[in-house]
Amino acid sequence: MALSKTTQDHDEIRRWAEARGAVPAEVADTDKGRGTGLLRFCFPDAPNKNNSGLKEISWEEFFEKFDKSDLELIYQEKTAAGEESNFNKLVHPDDEEHSSRKSGSSRSSGSHAKSHKSHAA
């Protein structure tokens, strides 16, 4: 079983994304007047990349919105087969099912409800 990790560390998040060629993005038209839309990562080989409704944003803007929304990233380095993994989800740490504040920073992946999902390949 592949282990997932959880972090709010900007350097760790950026390192993980850039190692996979991913760039920070926001789902267009999802801010609903709050100033923060749904955050995602846009991967270079993602299916329907051009029709996904994602708008690339700067790392500065991504982390400003990430912090404002008090999110954390759940991600995997490797798949169960040992290949590089793009699995990731942006979640609210106050959701007890996800929070590293309650359960530690590494755990096996499972179902993650009430999350801001990101594209995973």
Domain ranges of the chain: 3-117
pTM over 0.75: no
Taking only the tens place, the pLDDT of each residue in 73-108 is 999 999 999 999 999 999 998 765 544 544 444 433
Cβ atoms of 26 and 38 within 8 Å: the answer is yes
Q: What percent of the chain has pLDDT over 90?
A: 53
> How far is it, in rounded angstroms, from Cα 63 to Cα 13?
10
pLDDT at 46: 74
Category of 58 on φ-ψ map: left (φ > 0), alpha (ψ -120 to 50) or beta: beta
